[in-house]
A and B are shown apart, each in its own frame.
Chain A
Amino acid sequence: MATDVRLPAKVETRSGGFVYGPLILGWLVPGAGHLLQRRWGRAALLFLSITSMFALGLMMQGKLYVPNTSDLLEMIGFAGDLGAGLLYIGASLMDLGHVPIQVATADYGTRFAVVAGLLNIMAAVDAHNIRTGRKP
């Protein structure tokens, strides 16, 4: 007699309205997707972490990638940087991250900026999952 029957967890669906709002807003501004879900603490921590990482990358004289079709690594780097949303757009408009690399830590700075973008994408997808009810 089977007594240890495991049922899949009930997924709460909250699919009313535009479910991609947190995803888009979370991409544009780090933590904004969680802010939209009224997760204040998580939003603040995400904003602080991702923004600090991106800013530290620039302060280390890291390089920001630009759209480029000639080099695959440059394209991947650009995709990562673009994940930071308005941070990347703002920094590009201010012409930051385009100085020639002169110190060893500048390479770390470049990675910091790319990883900040990738983390922001993770955070935006997480906000989308909360919105759709996939994550409590």
Chain B
Amino acid sequence: MNLAPSHFAAVLLFATFVSVVFGITQRSTTRAMVRHGAFCFAMFLAAVVAGSWLMWAIKH
């Protein structure tokens, strides 16, 4: 079975899985894990959106 997601879908999948593992491994309490995971997810998305606009600006 082959899968060919869009670039943004691939980023969403990547950010989701990595954020879950970062949250669990980098914090001790459940509450802190959830907060850190959500923070990592938001940062991944923010970095991608910012990088995309930067590349658009460089091109134009």
Residues of A at the B interface (CB closer than 8 Å) are 42, 45-46, 49-50, 52-53, 56, 59-61, 103, 105, 108, 111-112, 115-116, 119, 122-123, 125-126, 135-136
Interface of A, secondary structure class, is helix
Assess whether A105 is in contact with B24, with CB atoms less than 8 Å apart: no
Query: Among the listed B1, B2, B18, which residue makes an inter-chain contact with A115, where contact means beta carbons less than 8 Å apart?
Result: B18
| B3 interface contact, C-beta 8 A | yes
Q: Enumerate 12 A-B pairs (CB-CB under 8 Å) in ascending A order.
A: A46-B20, A49-B16, A49-B20, A60-B2, A60-B3, A105-B5, A108-B5, A115-B14, A123-B21, A125-B25, A126-B24, A136-B28
Give Cα distance in the complex from A78 to B13, angstroms.
Answer: 22
Complex contacts, A56 vs chain B, CB 8 Å: 3, 13
Query: Among the listed A49, A61, A105, A126, which residue makes an inter-chain contact with B17, where contact means beta carbons less than 8 Å apart?
Result: A49
Q: Mark B10-44, 1 if CB is under 8 A from A, else 0.
A: 10011011101100110010000000000000000
Assess whether A42 is in contact with B4, with CB atoms less than 8 Å apart: no
Assess whether B4 is in contact with A50, with CB atoms less than 8 Å apart: no
Assess whether B2 is in contact with A59, with CB atoms less than 8 Å apart: yes
Query: Among the listed B1, B5, B10, B21, which residue makes an inter-chain contact with A49, where contact means beta carbons less than 8 Å apart?
Result: B21
Assess whether B18 is in contact with A119, with CB atoms less than 8 Å apart: yes
